[in-house]
Chains A and B, each alone.
Chain A
Amino acid sequence: MAILQIRQAIRDAMKEEMLRDERVFLMGEEVGHYNGAYKASEGLLEQFGPKRVIDTPIVETGFSGVGIGAAMCGLRPIIEFMTFNFSAVAFDQIMNNAAKIRHMTNGQFGVPIVFRGPNAAAHMLGSTHSQAFEPYYAHIPGLKVIAVATPYDAKGLLKSAIRDDNPVIFLESELMYSVKGEVPDEEYTIPIGKADIKREGKHVTVVTWGQGVPVSLKTAELAAKEGIEVEVIDLRTLRPMDIETVITSVKKTNRAVVLFHDWPYGGVGCEVIAQIQELAFDHLDAPVLRECYEDVPFPYADNLEQLVLPTPEKGLAAVKKVLYRG
């Protein structure tokens, strides 16, 4: 087992898939000569050349559309957004073309494409660069949405995403590219649509994904000091969602908190809660709570930003609240 950073796991996944399939190419801003704004494509231009590692001007709508058009011709593009905040200007391409083409053409055309890049808040980037995009994309039939939090998951799921015949949104995090973890030396993939129990426990289920995962694990550590055993479920795929794993856990713990890096209103967290109440209502001993961003645009100032973010301490408070402790 090698110890890799998430950025290296992502690079290795792209490298292996590009070696495996000549139809796979990487396109985006600064992916080639600059080696990626966050170095997730380091060395790929050198290895594969400019035909398959393609720098673009700053035209997210343009290169997203080009990727979709190329995918309709049978290629398998990986489109990198420098941040998903910039995907907002390509939203029409993803919503109206990537997600709709197969349906709208009655199956004449498919769009096997991956849109990947960092998502949600980093540190002190202000309101326009600190947003989580999973609610927008997970809302749309025709897309798959993945959010990763470990090098192992990043590599295994990105490889599956590249091989998938559907459009896949693959969410990373600026703050987590340096997170290290074990990655097998041999070939492996992780199926899309399977959650992972990152920590077992019997008192409270914490459902999380992406940047919420390390916060949830620290929450569980704090809780353990107070004798509370938290089960942390990393959804990993937000659409399709592995609700079965969540429900199995809730039926064991009877209590749940959804902890995530996004606003509370109308998002994936709400979907998790809706499904829990629908499928495990009689098993709940307390209302399901959300711990997430405060419902405000992100401020730049460090002290204000810290107040907006979910923290292990806030997570612990939510865990104790569903236990009616404290």
Chain B
Amino acid sequence: MTAAGPTEVSYEDQLKAAFKDQSKDDILRDYLAMLRIRRFEEAAARAYTRGKISGFLHLYIGQEAIAVATQQAIQPQDRVVSAYRTHGFALALGSDPKACAAELFGKAAGLVGGIGGSMHFFDKAHQLWGGYAIIGNHIPVAAGHAFASKYTGDGAVTLVFMGDGAVGIGPVHEGMTLAGIWKLPIVFVVENNQYSMGTPLSRTLPVEDITSRAAGYGFKSDRFHVTSVAETRDRIGAAVKRAREDNQPTLLELITYRFRGHSMSDPAKYRQKEEVETWRMQDPLERTLRALQLLHGFDEAALEQLDGEVIAEVDAAYEFADKAPPPLPEARFANILVGE
């Protein structure tokens, strides 16, 4: 920011106001959960540059608060279905960072045995039901999970995430239509990170407010800037409650920002430095860090100590992945058909 003192003061005052009702422990918990994802993603970027990771790698840097808030908003029977920017969800939901890193490296110890890679993370034991890399085709599938919940009465809510770039494609419309007709226990979440790959919203959306579509499906809706875990958790939680208690689907639009390109092959030259800096001031991780400093007196040494612990866990995960063996040759024949 180029503005002088008063802007800085008001930013701090605003931060203090936003975090004053949260306990130190909660702010610290959220900070560490987000930091863990960010450090994991930064390490992924480095490993990609070194040639340890191939294929497409989509980083969650800037959007971490959404995954952390989601984990706090759900119950153990619920399901989280995501697209291909999924590492953050896996880590937030409790997947082993070693298994996540090993999947990126194409190793047998990976989350899905090295078969799926970055775009196809699934971890049923930790409520992560994908991992889908064909834009929008997971929306009807997630509606099917919610259909099964209604059919069996298992009490689970399905939360399905998509990017702003997904909302134009057909399966999204069809899945939402069926969820609306059948009153399924589901929450549709658009993570609006401003760009459909390299194309800004103004050129991909007929109207700016994605939640204006909710009326057409008979959904409730909510739309907000993601600036903290706590607020995001509460607003996702309200939608989860509606789904669980009233079989009422909700369309959420979470306005966020990814600080990296679409994938590792995208240098993101389509945006200006000033734009990125403006969003940095709203980065939930940065804000939470500042809240710890301003409200709870964390000094540089304390923060570095915390960071060092997170980095050590992440480094250990990547070291494990690097040393882990690849899948056995016969693994390529596994799980194509069952009962053969």
A-to-B contact residues, CB < 8 Å: 25, 51, 56-57, 59, 61-75, 92-93, 96-97, 102-110, 141-142, 144, 164-166
Chain B residue numbers with a CB within 8 Å of A103 are 115, 334-336
B9 within 8 A of A: no
- Please provide the chain B residues from 115 to 173 with a CB less than 8 Å away from any CB of chain A in the complex: 115-116, 120, 122-124, 129-132, 134, 137-149, 151-152, 154, 170-171
| Neighbouring B residues of A107 by C-beta, 8 Å | 334-335, 338
Residues of A within 8 A of B181 (CB): 57
**A96 touching B137 by the CB < 8 A rule?**
yes
Given A62-B178, A97-B137, answer yes or no on A105-B116 (Cβ-Cβ < 8 Å).
yes
In the complex, B337 has a CB within 8 A of chain A = yes
Cα A105 to Cα B144 with chains together (Å): 17
The reply to whether B124 and A108 form a contact with Cβ atoms under 8 Å apart is: yes
Q: Which residues does chain A contribute within 8 Å of B112, judged by CB atoms?
A: 104-106, 108
Distance of B310 from chain A, by nearest CB (Å): 28
Q: Are the C-beta atoms of A97 and B122 separated by less than 8 Å? A: no
Contacting pair A104 B140 (CB below 8 A): no
Q: Chain B contacts of A104 at CB under 8 A? A: 112, 115-116, 120, 122, 131
**Of A66, A74, A102, A165, which contacts B175 at CB under 8 A?**
A66
Q: Mark B216-236, 1 if CB is under 8 A from A, else 0.
A: 000000000000000000000
Asked if residues B170 and A69 are in contact (CB atoms below 8 Å), the reply is no
Any A CB within 8 A of the CB of B26: no
Residue among B113, B115, B147, B338 making CB contact with A70, cutoff 8 Å = B147
Interface residue? B177 (CB, 8 A): yes
A-B contacts at CB below 8 angstroms, number: 140
Whether a CB of chain A sits under 8 angstroms from the CB of B174 is yes
A80 to chain B, nearest CB (A): 15
Taking Cβ atoms with an 8 Å cutoff, the residues of B that contact A are 112-113, 115-116, 120, 122-124, 129-132, 134, 137-149, 151-152, 154, 170-171, 174-175, 177-178, 181, 334-339
* Chain B nearest Cβ from A112, distance in angstroms: 9
Contact of B144 among A66, A164, A166 (CB under 8 A): A66
**Which 7 pairs of residues, A with B, have the shortest CB-CB distance?**
A69-B144, A65-B140, A62-B174, A73-B148, A69-B141, A106-B113, A66-B144
Structural contact, A61 and B124, CB atoms closer than 8 A: no
Residues of B within 8 A of A105 (CB): 112, 116, 120, 122, 124, 130-131, 335
Contact A68 B148 (CB under 8 A): no
Contact residues in A for B132 (Cβ distance below 8 Å): 97
Q: Which residues of chain B are near A110, meaning CB under 8 Å?
A: 338
Contact of B171 among A57, A62, A74, A109 (CB under 8 A): A62
B123 surroundings in chain A (CB, below 8 A): 108
Distance A106 CA – B130 CA, assembled complex (angstroms): 12
On whether the beta carbons of A106 and B335 are closer than 8 Å, the reply is yes
